[in-house]
A and B are shown apart, each in its own frame.
Chain A
Amino acid sequence: MVAVDLRRPDRPTGRPRGIRPSRGYRVFQVVNAVILTGVVVVTLYPFVNILARSFSQTEFIRSGQVNLWPKGFNLTTYGRVMSDPMFWTNYRNTVVYTVVATAIAMVLTTCYAYVLSKKHLRGRPLLVGIAVFTLFFNGGLIPNYVLVSSLGLRNTIWAIVLPNAINVFNLLVMKAFFESLPAELEEAAAVDGLGTYGILLRIVLPLSKAVIATMILFYAVTFWNSWFSAFLYMDRLELFPATVYLRNLIAGATAGTDQTAASDFGLQVAANIQAVTIVLTMLPIMLVYPFIQRYFVSGVLLGAVKG
């Protein structure tokens, strides 16, 4: 995300001869490095702490002794969470829901945004208006529930992947991106004999990798983290995504009101259960980041070359 390469000025070969950085610039470099290191520490510390907590024994966490390194190394909670077949069922659901939902969302959002980016389209303001309207108003929880129920979507994947398929914010970002592509390119493609779909698939989309990668990431993270629609529209445990499973686990570990709920397990792991949860849900999405990162950089370059 930060495209500034800090190492470059220190490498003798990377700097053109004869131009020496001014003193002010050097000071700036140092200050910059210090501040950014600070930012890195501040952002990383909680993650490392969470990781350490997830491997620690409850007593040490409660007495505030766990900092950067686990104390009283302990895998009970990982074991308990991961040995439960329901956890894996739900995890698989998360993956399936995320992949299918992201695919559907990408197709619909791209098509809608591309259409909206064409200024000569008749009724364009109306189509934009329809989308923007939903930013400010929605039917509300219960009407949505009734709608999904009467469409017979409850307890199917469609209840999760269809209602949230187009995110208007993403739609507008994508529309703006398409609008910024030079119209001449498309005209040239048309002259060379490409139809509408050919232009979209062979010219526009390959040039839009940056925005597509961003949108995929936005959508995937949203769907990965989402729990509410699954919780609402699914009536069986084996249909829930992992987020609902883990959310329930945390609630069970912290709920004190239900006396029969206070089982031996619930209280034993209450202190590190949250950490385990965060690690398990965060991990896959974090692993995806490095692979998508390069598209962000190329996106920045694309902007630089243009004009």
Chain B
Amino acid sequence: MKDILQKLEGVPGVRGALVMTLDGVIIASIPDEADHAAVAAFLSAVLVSIEKSAEQLNLVPLQRMTLTTSNGRLLLLPVGDLALAVIADAQTELSAVLAQVTAMTRRLLRQSKIDVTL
């Protein structure tokens, strides 16, 4: 999992990424020195808090959540039973990064079926 995440390291504009379970447990993250625990916990809280209302509005299944801020962007993509979060710059054109993320998401999905036992 870490190897796949490392594909994102060095991609222009990407500051960090993590793969987490839907209840906020981090499985892998980059860069090593970053502490993503709080972000994972809050992303998990976001998913829980919106789940019921989203279902009532037929806003399912979730494909992507993008949070754009003055200093950057946070992307959240569900991958099977896991979620991939990417923190990127606000200014950087994201299409190239998103292509990387999409490709990696597919790989993660395949790998999660093989390696991850929940």
A binds B: no
Interface residues of B (CB under 8 A from A): none
